[in-house]
Structure 1
Amino acid sequence: MYLRCLLVPTAPGLDATRRLDAALRLCRRLNAHIGVAFMAPGPAEVLAGIASLGPIDGLAISAIARGVREAAAEGEAALRAWCAREGVPLTSRPERLDSTFASWTEHTGEVEPLLTLAGRVNDLVIVDRPDPEEPFTGRALDTALFSVGRPTLMIGQSVPADLLSHVVIAWNGSLEATRLIGQSITLLHEAGRVTVVHAETGRRTEMRAADLSAYLRWHGIVAESMALPVPEGMSVGAAILGAAEAQGASMLALGAYTHSRVRELLLGGVTRHVIENARMPVLMGH
């Protein structure tokens, strides 16, 4: 599948620079488009959250609407400044579709339905690692993973100069990992190096039967394969992250929430550990 449309959702007060930088570095390899979608709660959503505080008059509603407009204007101005610095055209009518450009759209309402609909008409959703002080970041990641049906790229505190210099794939033969590989073949084709990591767990036999490296060769991708022992007392997530860092990975790819999300929240799990601790960009699919 070609990746031509990369979606960067953002919200009032959020700095999208890291996500834009990551999107641009991918776009220049893929001749893709960066779609920046500004999502803010409208008056109805804000009022629903403060209804218990007492009656709301027309002036308050007008103030809420004005605040949303001002936040959107600030977000668009920040995007224009970033585009000017990076030499990226900001337009809704590009001269060529096989070129890198950015576009800006504004949406009001709840994050989940807005991002679900926007994400489904894009090829990749780029989000921040969840920050407890920024509720939008957690809601965006959850929605991208569970509702959109497209790969999700989570960006941490830094963005490698080349996100595709070395992609490490955490392979466990799961349905989630299989979907991610199928949707990300284009990215893997562009990678300078690909390593498939098999964590040595109880599913090791199943993973041998599903030889991902052999499959990738049929698609012109030469991947190294590495068995990863998991020391006693270490979680699989920690072992995978440690191996990826030791290998100098520029990106980690894994199927997300092979077990239920509730189970991972209660008992821990690979996805939860990676989301909470990864410093490198993480490509995920559910």
Structure 2
Amino acid sequence: MSTETSRHAVTGTSRQPAPTPARFHDVLALGTSVAPWSPALLAAIDIAARWSGNVTGCYVPGCLRELRALEDEPTVLSLLSDAGYECLDDANAFQTYAQNHGARYAAWMVTRTAIAPTLRKLGAWHDLAVLERDMVDETRLFDILGEAMLSCRIPCLILPPAWNQPLSFRRIVVAWNGSFESTRALHSALPLLQLASDITLVNGHAREPRPSQLSVAQPDPMIYLMHHGVAAKPRYLDVPTDEAGNALLDRVHHEAADLLVMGGYGHSRIRERVLGGATRHILAHASIPVFMQH
């Protein structure tokens, strides 16, 4: 054994191969218009094209956008309204547009059910969903779009109202507090984080387990990102819980971020899902796209 080989064997410092780039293979968008294509559809095509991935466009008729999951019924109105959007011309036009802009494969469909069950069912086949925050009325933002995001089990990229800009992932802020939700969001966002040139990890207070719970040590997020080829600068957030959402948006503004990555928090009450305070604040007030996962 050579001296160099022996030294590496003893110290464990042998060169490791570069991390394999993460990617989104299948991207879903819930769209609100076809002429022109709505922002979520354009954004999903853009993301899929970055990895030559597949994109599914799903049109949600206007009469179904205000239905909560518990109100979802196949009424005559929902079956007949906007029937023209299911025509073959729209499918062909979407497939042609998406493939001309870099997607490997494109599919088009029209839902006949509410947003939450649509996203849950189609989300099981996709790595990421793209939503428009203003696809629902502001007064029903939390109980419709919030419920959909919390129940679909996949990460969602939520576009702010009237979004009409190209997506950029150059500067990203990641909110992490040691919770399961924030860790899943960080992990799921790796394809976008690997595109960024400036990443800020905002480290808030981790939730302390109850004494009766089994404590398990978890990786350091900075080291985890480094192992995936992502360099981040740490920042710490020490504010009361009810101020966390506003403080996080202040940090986003300070960093001139293009994207915020965070966990989506909620808890169940009697037959309904309730969003946590920080999630509600970010969902209501963010002026940039938010990558969120429950």
**Superposition TM-score tier, normalisation by shorter sequence:** 0.7 to 0.9
1:45 matched to 2:79: no
User: Are the aligned partners of 1:159 and 1:281 in contact in 2 as well (CA < 8 Å)?
Assistant: no
**Alpha-carbon spacing, 1:147–1:24, altered in 2? closer, same or farther (3 Å):** same
Question: Gapped runs of 5+ residues in structure 2?
Answer: 1-21, 65-71, 209-214
Q: Secondary structure at the match of 2:287?
A: coil
Distance 1:111 1:24 in 2: 20
Q: Counterpart of 1:93? A: none
User: Are the aligned partners of 1:126 and 1:155 in contact in 2 as well (CA < 8 Å)?
Assistant: yes
Q: Secondary structure at the match of 2:98?
A: coil
Deviations 1:106-130 (A, max 9, x none): 3323443332111110010111115
User: Are the aligned partners of 1:159 and 1:280 in contact in 2 as well (CA < 8 Å)?
Assistant: no
User: Are the aligned partners of 1:8 and 1:35 in contact in 2 as well (CA < 8 Å)?
Assistant: yes
**Alpha-carbon spacing, 1:153–1:202, altered in 2? closer, same or farther (3 Å):** closer
How many percent of aligned residue pairs carry the same amino acid? 24
Partner amino acid, structure 1, of 2:264: A
**Alpha-carbon spacing, 1:100–1:249, altered in 2? closer, same or farther (3 Å):** farther
Q: Counterpart of 2:99? A: 89
Q: Counterpart of 1:30? A: 51
Q: Secondary structure at the match of 1:260?
A: strand
1:217 to 223, 226, 234: 226
1:19 matched to 2:28: no
Question: How many pairs were matched up?
Answer: 255
Q: Secondary structure at the match of 1:113?
A: helix
State the 1:10 CA deviation.
Answer: 3.1
1:185 to 177, 186, 190: 190
Q: How does 1:1-286 map to 2 (within 5 A)?
A: 2-10=23-31, 17-40=38-61, 45=73, 47=75, 65-73=79-87, 76=90, 80=93, 88-89=98-99, 99-130=103-134, 131-132=136-137, 139-143=144-148, 145-157=149-161, 158=163, 160-199=165-204, 201=205, 211-230=220-239, 235-257=243-265, 260=267, 269-286=277-294
**Alpha-carbon spacing, 1:14–1:109, altered in 2? closer, same or farther (3 Å):** farther
Question: Gapped runs of 5+ residues in structure 1?
Answer: 48-60, 91-97
Taking structure 2 as the reference length, the TM-score comes to 0.71
Distance 1:242 1:46 in 2: 43
User: Are the aligned partners of 1:8 and 1:126 in contact in 2 as well (CA < 8 Å)?
Assistant: yes
Distance 1:138 1:38 in 2: 20
State the 1:275 CA deviation.
Answer: 0.3
Q: Secondary structure at the match of 1:125?
A: strand
Larger helix fraction of residues:
1
Deviations 1:125-166 (A, max 9, x none): 1111154269699634522x2222111110003355342111
Q: Secondary structure at the match of 2:116?
A: helix
User: Are the aligned partners of 2:181 and 2:264 in contact in 1 as well (CA < 8 Å)?
Assistant: yes
Q: Counterpart of 1:94? A: none
**Alpha-carbon spacing, 1:171–1:74, altered in 2? closer, same or farther (3 Å):** same
**Alpha-carbon spacing, 1:13–1:25, altered in 2? closer, same or farther (3 Å):** closer
State the 1:68 CA deviation.
Answer: 3.6
User: Are the aligned partners of 1:177 and 1:254 in contact in 2 as well (CA < 8 Å)?
Assistant: yes
